[in-house]
Amino acid sequence: MPDGNCSFETLNGDLELTFPDNLSADFRMKTFNGEAFSDFPVTYLQAANLRAAAAPMKERKKGKFIYKSDQFFSVRAGKGGPQMTLDTMNGDILIKKRTS
């Protein structure tokens, strides 16, 4: 688990990050032609800028939380913590629980 803010991006691939059960972090995400999946329950963080995009579409499928938006949005896992910026043009974002 990173101690500070970090950023990951790709143009035509998936971003897959795996964390322990006690994840506490803030995620800032965008995928233009994909979806964002989380094994962890997350809370949408309202943008401070009133002109920011509306909340992403959210659903739950096969036990995973799924978000769709072509603009940056933020969610919090656990109590929050380092901000991880995840950006992909043509891929999915997968935030996964580590399995022992």
Model pLDDT for residues 52-91, shown as the tens digit of each residue: 555 566 666 666 666 676 788 889 999 999 999 999 999 9
Would you state the pLDDT for residue 16? 95
Determine contact, residues 77/24, Cβ cutoff 8 Å: yes
Q: For 12-21, what is the mean pLDDT? A: 94
CA-wise closest residue to 35 among 12, 57, 18, 52: 57
- Of all residues in the chain, what percent carry a pLDDT higher than 70? 74
pLDDT band per the 50, 70, 90 thresholds, residue 14:
very high
Determine contact, residues 92/14, Cβ cutoff 8 Å: yes
